A and B are shown apart, each in its own frame.
Chain A
Amino acid sequence: MEVLTDNLDDFASGLWVTTRLVGAAFLVAVVLGTLVAALRVSESRPLRTLGGLYVETFRNVPLLVLLFITFPGLRRGGVDINAWTAGIVALGLYTSAYVAEVLRSGVAAVSRGQREAGLSLGFGQVAVLRRIVLPQAFRTVIGPLGSITIAMIKNSAIVGASIVALDDVLKEARVVNSATFQTTEAFFWAAVCYLLLTLTATAAFRGLEARYAIRR
């Protein structure tokens, strides 16, 4: 317990860094994931292939490798990217592939008749997707999106473990460990920090699910 109370500042700042990292990466993942899902369900074959290529690439590449591409890789290439942007971009890109897959299956779950009815009412392709299909698809994917978010919170620890300049929860735990040599306590409290975040996310997504549940 002393390890926590003596180093509360470190753990709190780590928790805040992880929270911001996860929040920003979540936005990137949802925006990119939605765009890619739209490509995946489009009428045009080249666009569908492009979306498929994107998903297969970012779902199959290790996050750690992506981080080495976005941070030291781009910097060595003369791109002036800072640790925050690199971490957010890598985590966001990685997660966006999963979001796209979940959204695609959500769109597939909306019956074809909905789309056909929209088209016959004179809506365009994009309008049908935006006003009719996606709002219904989003409901069915709240649960799976929750699991992706929880996985992302856990994956965010990889960012702090590889990019030296980002002091997230895991990084602070390592600092506390080297200062106190209380390895078990330091890592235990770090795990508790992550648990706090995943439990909050779980509760939030449960709430959303209850609120937007489709009652038939």
Chain B
Amino acid sequence: MGYLLDPGNWEWVVTDNNLRFLLEAFLINLEIAVIAMALALALGLVLALGAIARPAPIRLAAKAWVDVFRNVPLILLILYLALSQPQSVREFWSDNAPGFLPDALRSEFILAGIGGLVLYNSAVLAEVFRAGILSLARGQREAAAALGLSYLQQMRHVVLPQGLRRMVPATVSQLITLNKDTTLVSIIAIQEVVRSGRVLAGTAGNPFTGSEVAAPILHVMIFVGLLFVIANYALSRLSRRLETRESRRIATVRSAPRVSEAPPA
């Protein structure tokens, strides 16, 4: 306990550029999370629609795809993609990545990192979406079909607006998991917050900021952990806020007088 609380072991936080170095690296994690989430949501929706599609080949293919990527450990997927991607792909990205991206996102391994995150999370989200869509009463779709709406119109105007709303909690909790999982790309040498923390805790202090003060790895990692706890706690609060607003909305809709209860004219 003395070691943990010793102010000398926390001195690195306020020394030189250490704090900024770590926070900028944390921003990389958030950027990776946002990019991967956007792609995973889109791919997940396509996979979910595929898994409930009428034609058997599409349905079976989508289900098999989802089952494979949902059941593989994410770190195994990321490592495999990093180790197996051909030299040409790596060089293509590090040579042609747009210049406005931060260095970490121009790394030759970033495609493998983001690719792994997207493949895994889209499979998980596809299951969430599928459950949300199937939880809607069949009658909704049948009614839409009876009104003459095409498949795409049924999905776009009737099924998805109702189904997607029910999936907010599960989707947000997956977003939190994804945010935590961005640290896994440190294993394939992408300079994000865990890797930067390890640099900071190197025996010589921080070569990037030229700091002479050594940072104990225990303290650095507790600090990094705190960053994630704060960010993810904020996310889960946001989700709860959305949920209560949603249930209130549904409650108002329900309490509106129904036709059968309207007073006789």
Contacts and interface: CB of A to CB of B under 8 A. Distances in A.
A65 B76 contact: no
Interface string B79-98: 11001100000000000000
B218 A190 contact: no
A74 B74 CA distance: 27
Contact of B218 (A63, A77, A155): A77
7 contacts: A73-B218, A78-B3, A154-B71, A154-B73, A157-B74, A158-B73, A194-B71
Contacts of A95: none
Interface in A138-167: 153-158, 161-162
Contact of B71 (A65, A173, A195): A195
Given A77-B4, A162-B187, A187-B80, A60 B75 contact: no
A64 interface: yes
Given A56-B229, A74-B218, A62 B180 contact: yes
Contacts of A161: 75, 79, 184, 187
Given A154-B71, A158-B73, A170-B76, 18 more contacts: A60-B176, A60-B228, A60-B233, A61-B228, A62-B194, A63-B180, A65-B194, A65-B224, A72-B218, A154-B72, A154-B74, A161-B79, A170-B75, A174-B79, A183-B83, A187-B80, A191-B73, A194-B72
Interface in B137-189: 176, 180-181, 183-184, 186-187
Contacts of B217: 68, 72-73, 76
Contacts of B84: 183-184, 187
B222 interface: yes
Nearest to A78: B3
Nearest to B72: A191
Contacts of A73: 216-218, 221-222
Contacts of A198: 71
B75 A158 contact: yes
What does DSSP make chain A's interface, helix, strand, loop or mixed?
helix
A69 B225 contact: yes
A57 B227 CA distance: 11
A110 interface: no
A190 B216 contact: no
Interface of B: 3-4, 71-76, 79-80, 83-84, 176, 180-181, 183-184, 186-187, 194, 197-198, 216-218, 221-222, 224-225, 228-229, 231-233, 236
Interface of A: 56-57, 59-66, 68-69, 72-74, 76-78, 153-158, 161-162, 170, 173-174, 177, 183-184, 187, 190-191, 194-195, 198
Contacts, number: 108
A64 B183 contact: yes
A68 B194 contact: yes
A156 B233 CA distance: 24
A177 B176 CA distance: 32
A152 to B, nearest CB: 11
A191 B225 contact: no
Contacts of B3: 77-78
A69 B233 contact: no
Contacts of B74: 154, 157
